[in-house]
Amino acid sequence: MKVSAKSLAIILNGTCEGNPDVEVWKPCKIEEGEIGGISFLANSKYESYLYNTQCSAIIVSEDFVPSQPYSPTLIRVKDVYGAVATLLSQFNVSPSTDHHISSLAFIDKNAVLPTQCTIEAFSCVSKSASIGENTRIYPHVFVGENVKVGRNVIIHAGVKIYHDCIIGDNVIIHSNVVIGSDGFGFTKNEQGEYIKINQIGNVIIEDNVEIGANTVIDRATMGSTFIRKGVKLDNLIQIAHNVEINENTVIAAQAGVAGSSKIGKDCLIGGQVGIVGHIQIADGTMIQAQSGVNASIKETKTKWYGSPALDYTAFLRSFSVFKKLPELLKRLEKLEADTRK
């Protein structure tokens, strides 16, 4: 795709500053810019690259004020990251969209398939499973009995979807995700041995969800584990049985949510966050990476940090004291020594 800066500005609802006829044909990093490249500047840490980059065009915010001369054409927009998302969708090269079912795929005779879908080699669609229109299933995917997969779903290689789970429309599931594995449920008998508690529920994933590679979502003990509309889960996340994650919440890599916890709408949860079981997280909550949440958060749109997590501002104040403790200890010891003299 080759496009002029002027045409791209129209696509991005922006304005051109510089040569509007310069052509770009590949997105690239601002620090690795090349002629014909287009990049963006949203973080001031990268501003210095603007003045040396070989990129032909750079997307910047409407209020950006350069401090030095520069050569690229600027495309000024209201929302840089939103413009970048649009830009990359224009340059995205999707895999072939022809529909076919590989002769090396196993499709149970009682599975329900649409007129248009793709199932690649060595994938398995089990008894009474149903697949929606325009869904693409890559190699080595397992779809269990009675699973329902919606329309326009992309299931990448190696995904395993256990029996009775439900996947909505426009869902993207990346490689090696496991959906519907048993919840971690055991109880001790009189001999002190662990006895498995059968997990007879399922997982329901609603529309427009994206699930990163190697994430695991456990089935409910009874009822359902819910991933609601628009949720985005990063790689390597553990979602336990009977958890409910509500609309448009985003969770970064290596986070874990223990059983029966309920996470509200529009939450932002950082990497390696741990959330204990049987608590509730209010709508709009923001939790800093590596925090541990061990109690319900009831007030909406609050920020939390630390383990156990504190109000974000309170944590920063506490940390400012904590890092001074060695110095304070020395002063205290000196005062005690002076007192004894």
CATH code for the domain of 128: 2.160.10.10
Tokens representing 100 are 């076919």
Asked, for residue 329, whether it belongs to a domain, the answer is: no
Q: Is the pLDDT of residue 263 over 70?
A: yes
How many other CB atoms sit within 10 Å of the CB of residue 294?
A: 12
Q: Are residues 74 and 218 in the same domain?
A: no
Does the residue 324 lie in any domain? no
Same domain membership, residue 110 and residue 78: no
Q: What integer pLDDT is reported at residue 96 of this predicted model?
A: 62
Query: What residues form DSSP beta bridges with 160?
Result: 142, 178
Over the stretch 186-237, which tens digit does the pLDDT of each residue have?
999 999 999 999 999 999 999 999 999 999 999 999 999 999 999 999 999 9
Q: What CA–CA distance (Å, rounded) separates 108 from 63?
A: 59
pTM for this structure?
0.86
Residue finishing a domain among 91, 123, 140: 91
Residue 97: per-residue pLDDT: 65
Give residue-wise pLDDT tens across range 28-73: 999 999 999 999 999 999 999 999 999 999 999 999 999 999 999 9
Give yes or no: residues 44 and 128 share one domain. no
CB 315 within 8 A of CB 305: yes
- Residue 329: the pLDDT is 86
**Range scoring the smallest mean pLDDT among 98-102, 151-155, 162-166, 335-339:** 335-339
Angle at 180 between CA 176 and CA 183, to 5 degrees: 115
Q: Domain total for the chain?
A: 2
Model pLDDT, residue 326: 87
* pLDDT exceeds cutoff 90 at 312: no
pLDDT at 29: 94
Residue 233 lies in a domain: yes
pLDDT at 95: 64
Going by C-alpha positions, the residue among 219, 293, 235 that lies closest to residue 227 is 219
Cβ–Cβ under 8 Å, residues 167 and 137: no
180 with 87, same domain: the answer is no
Domain match, 86 and 110 both: no
Distance CA 108, CA 188 (A): 39
Rg (Cα) of the chain, in Å, rounded?
A: 26
Strands 124-125 and 106-107: parallel
The answer on 297 and 183 residing in a single domain is yes
Identify whether residues 68 and 173 lie together within a single domain: no
Distances 281 to 69, 262, 285, 300 between C-alpha atoms, Å: 48, 6, 7, 8
Alpha-helical (H) ranges within 3-146 are 5-11, 47-50, 80-91
Do the domain assignments include residue 331? no
**Same-domain check for residues 124 and 29:** no
> Could you tell me the CATH number of the domain that includes residue 19?
3.40.1390.10
Q: Are residues 143 and 258 in the same domain?
A: yes
Q: Report residue 299 as tokens.
A: 């007030």
| CB 57 within 8 Å of CB 22 | yes
**Residue 57 domain-assigned (yes or no):** yes
Across the chain, mean pLDDT equals 95
- In terms of domains, do 158 and 215 share one? yes
**Parent domain of 13:** 3-91
Whether 98 is in a domain gets the answer no
User: Does the residue 96 lie in any domain?
Assistant: no
Regarding whether 135 and 84 lie in a shared domain, the answer is: no
Q: What is the DSSP string of 219-239?
A: PPSSSEEEE-TT-EE-SS-EE
- Residue 337 in any domain: the answer is no
Catalytic residues: 241
State whether 13 and 82 are in the same domain: yes
Rounded-to-integer distance, Cα 290 and Cα 270, Å: 7
- Neighbouring CB atoms inside 10 A of 135's CB total 24
